[in-house]
Chain A
Amino acid sequence: MTLASSIQQVCFLVLAATVVGGSLGVVLLPNIVYSAFLLGGVFLAVAGLYLLLNASFVAAAQVLVYVGAVNVLILFAIMLVNKKETMAAIPGLPVRRLLSGLVCGGLFALLLRVAYTTAWALPGPLPVGEEATIRIGEHLFSDYLLPFELASVLLLMAMIGAIVLARRDVFSSDVITGEPADQGLIEKSRTPLLLDGPPASPSLQETAP
C-alpha cells in the first residue's frame, strides 16, 4: 500500500466517523443550536468525502450551498427566535420515542440491505477530476436542461412566496386578527409612538419648527 492510498484510507475513516457521529448528534442532542452547528460539520465532512472521490467542484459547491447558505439560514432562524422555554409535557412520550426509533431502525435495515445487495462497481468512464466543471456545465445545458430549469422555476416560486409573506403591506389586513397590517412604523416616525393620553397642547406644536 502506497503512502497516498493509506492517507486516503485514514481520511476516509475520519470523515466517515465525523459524518456518522455528527448526524447522530444532530438528531439526539437536546440543544437545537448544537444540532445546527453539528449539521454544518456534517455537511463539511460530506464535502470532504466528495474531495476524496476526485469531485472537487461538487465539494466546493456543497460547501457553498449547504454550509454557506442552508446552514447559515437555519442558524439565523434559530437565533432570531431563540426563546428559552420548557416544552409542555407531551402525553405518551416514551411510546412515541419507541415508535420513531422503530421506524428509523427499519429504514436503516432497509438501507443496509440495499447497500449489501447493490453491485457498487461502476462500469462507466473514469472520474474526470479537474475537467468535471466543464462536463457538469455541458450536461446541465443539454440532457439535464429540463430538470435544471424546473428547479430554478421552483426556487423562483419560493422566493416570490417569501417576498409576499414578508411584505405584509400587500395584504390590506392581518389574516388572523383582521386589523390593518402595514409596515408604516418606520415612515410614521414623526408621530410619537407613546401617545396614549390626550394630544399635546396646540401651543407646543406651534412653537416647534
Chain B
Amino acid sequence: MDSAPIVTTGLDLQTSFVEVLQGLGLSSGAARLLWLPLPMLTVLVAAVVGVLVNVWLERKISAAVQQRIGPEYAGALGILQPLADGLKLVFKEDIIPARADGLLFTLGPVLVLVPVILSWLVVPFGQNLLISNVGVGVFLWISLSSIQPIGLLMSGYASNNKYSLLGGLRAAAQSISYEIPLALAVLAVVMMSNSLSTVDIVNQQAGAGILSWNIWRQPVGFVIFWICALAECERLPFDLPEAEEELVAGYQTEYSGMKFALFYLGSYINLVLSALLVAVLYLGGWSFPVPVEWLAGLLGQSVDAPLVQVITASVGIAMTVLKAYLLVFFAILLRWTVPRVRIDQLLDLGWKFLLPVALVNLLVTAALKLAFPSVFGG
C-alpha cells in the first residue's frame, strides 16, 4: 500500500515531553511510562467537563425553547447548576432493591460507561493530539459501542422490574438495529480515505479547507450517521428505552445515587463522543474552514515554527470542540422540539429506510470512487 507522506507533523507533545525528561537524566522507557497516564487523565477530565457543559446547555436551551429562564442562581447564568446536580447524585443514598440481583445490578452501569470512555481513545484533536492512533480507528469505536447493550440488558434484568426489563430489551434492540446503517455510513467514508484510522480520515479532508470536508461528498451518509448516532445515544426523538409515559424510566427505573449517575454520565459522554466523531468523519475534524498552512503562508510564517505550531494546535482543538458542540446544540434543540417516535416506527425507520439508503449510499460511493478517483479518494 502506498502511504502518502504526511504533510504537516504538527505539535507532538509526547516527543517533546520525553525529550525534556531524558534531558533530566531519565531513561527513555521511564519517560514514556511517565507520559502514558497524562493524555488518558486529560481526556477523562475533558469528557467529564464536557458532560457538565452539556448538562448546563441542556438546561438553558430547554428553558429558552419553552420560554423560561432556566437556572440562574448557581453561579453566573446558572453555570454551576450541573455541579450542584452532580453533588446531589453523589450524596444520594445508594439503594439496591431487595429482590434485585446485587452483583449484576452493580455491574450493569459500569459496563454501560466503560466502553464509552474507552472509545475516546481514537478521537483526534490534532495530528498527534490523541491518545493512540490505532490502525483500526473508527472500527474500534463501532465494536466498543456494541458492548453497551449487554450492560443495558444486565441492568434491566437485574432490577427485577418489568419496566426495567422491557426498557433494557428495547435499548438493546434499538442499538443493534441502528448499528448496521451507522457502520455502513462509516464504511463509505472509510472507503474514500482508504483507512480506518481517524487521523487519516481527517487528513484526507484537508487541502481545500471547508470545501474538501466530507459533508459535501457524503451528504446522505452524514444524515444517516447523525440519525443513527442519536438513536445509539437514546436521545429524543429516539429515547424509547426510557420513555416516561410507557416505561417509567426504562432500565434506569430502580437506580439512584452514583449508579444512576453512571448512566447519566454515560449517555452524555456518548452524545459528546458521537458529535466529535461526526466532526471527525464529516466536518474535517480539527481543520479550520480555511487551510491553516495557507493562512500561515499569507502571514509569512513557517508552519513548523514552534509558536505557529502551538497556535495551530490550539486552533485545531478549538475547531474540533466547536464543531462538536454545534452538533450537540442541534441534538438538544431536537430533543426539546420533536415528539418521540413509536417503537414500531423506530424499527421501521432503521430497517426499512436507513439500511437500504445506507447500502445504496455505499454502492454509489464505490462507483463514484471508481469514476472520479481524484475527488473521491483513489
A→B interface (CB under 8 Å): 2-3, 33, 37, 40, 44, 56-57, 60-61, 63-64, 67-69, 71-72, 75-76, 79-80, 129-134
With both chains docked as a complex, state the minimum distance between the C-beta of B332 and any C-beta of chain A, in angstroms: 28
Q: How extensive is the interface on chain B, given as a class?
A: 20 to 34
A131 in contact with B1 (CB, 8 Å): yes
A166 to chain B minimum Cβ distance, whole angstroms, is 13
Asked if B89 is at the interface (CB within 8 A of a chain A CB), the reply is no
Residues of A contacting B139 in the complex (Cβ-Cβ under 8 angstroms): 57, 60-61, 64
List CB contacts (< 8 Å) of B125-154 with chain A. Answer: 134-136, 139-140, 142-144, 146-147, 149-150, 153-154
Query: When chains A and B are docked, how far (Å) is the Cα of A21 from the Cα of B139?
Result: 29
Distance A61 CA – B143 CA, assembled complex (angstroms): 7
Query: B58 in the interface, Cβ–Cβ < 8 Å?
Result: no
In whole angstroms, what is the CA distance A2 to B33 when docked? 12
Contacts A37-B104, A56-B134 given; indicate if A64 touches B142 (C-beta within 8 A).
yes
From B108, which residue of chain A is reached at the shortest CB distance? Answer: A37
Q: Nearest chain-B residue to A75 (Cβ)?
A: B153
With the chains together, A42 CA to B37 CA distance in Å? 27
Question: Which residue in B134, B143, B169 is a CB contact (below 8 Å) of A76?
Answer: B169
Q: Does B238 contact A (CB under 8 A)?
A: no
Known: A33-B104, A60-B140, A60-B142. 17 other contacts (CB 8 A): A37-B154, A63-B143, A63-B147, A67-B146, A68-B146, A68-B149, A71-B150, A72-B146, A72-B153, A75-B153, A76-B153, A76-B172, A79-B168, A79-B169, A130-B135, A131-B135, A132-B135
- Which residue on B lies nearest to A63, using beta carbons? B143
Q: Does B196 make an interface contact (CB < 8 A)?
A: yes
**Cβ contact within 8 Å between B172 and A129:** no
9 interchain residue pairs of minimum CB distance: A68-B146, A130-B135, A64-B143, A63-B143, A60-B143, A60-B136, A75-B153, A60-B139, A56-B136
B179 touches A68 (CB 8 A): yes
Residue numbers in A under 8 Å from B172 (CB-CB): 72, 75-76
Residue in contact with A64 in the complex, picked from B146, B150, B154, CB distance below 8 Å: B146
Q: Which residues of B contact A130 (CB under 8 A)?
A: 134-135
B157 touches A72 (CB 8 A): no
B261 interface contact, C-beta 8 A? no
The CA of A152 and the CA of B147, in the complex, are separated in Å by: 24
Ordered by A's residue number, 11 sampled pairs between the chains whose C-beta atoms are within 8 Å are A3-B33, A60-B140, A63-B146, A64-B139, A67-B150, A68-B149, A76-B173, A79-B157, A79-B165, A79-B168, A130-B135
